[in-house]
Amino acid sequence: MTTRMIAFAATFVSASTFGALAQQTQPQQQMQHPSGGQMAMSAESLPEECRTAVQASGQMQNMQNMQGMDMSGMMQSMQGMMANMNDAQKGYMQAMMKMHGPMMAAHMIKDSDVAFICGMIAHHQGAIDMANVVLKTGDNAEAKKMAEKTIKEQGQEITEMKIWLQKNAKKEGSQ
Where in the sequence is the domain holding 67, given as residue range(s)? Answer: 3-174
**Backbone region of residue 39 per phi and psi (left: phi > 0; alpha: psi in -120 to 50; beta: other values):** beta
**pLDDT tens-digit series, residues 153-162:** 999 999 999 9
Query: How does strand 38-40 pair with strand 30-32?
Result: antiparallel
**pLDDT tens-digit series, residues 98-157:** 898 899 888 889 999 999 999 999 999 999 999 999 999 999 999 999 999 999 999 999
Distance CA(116)–CA(126), nearest Å, equals 15
- Which residue, among 128, 173, 136, has the nearest Cα to 154 in the 3D structure? 128
The helix/strand/coil state of 80 is helix
Q: What is the domain count for the chain?
A: 1
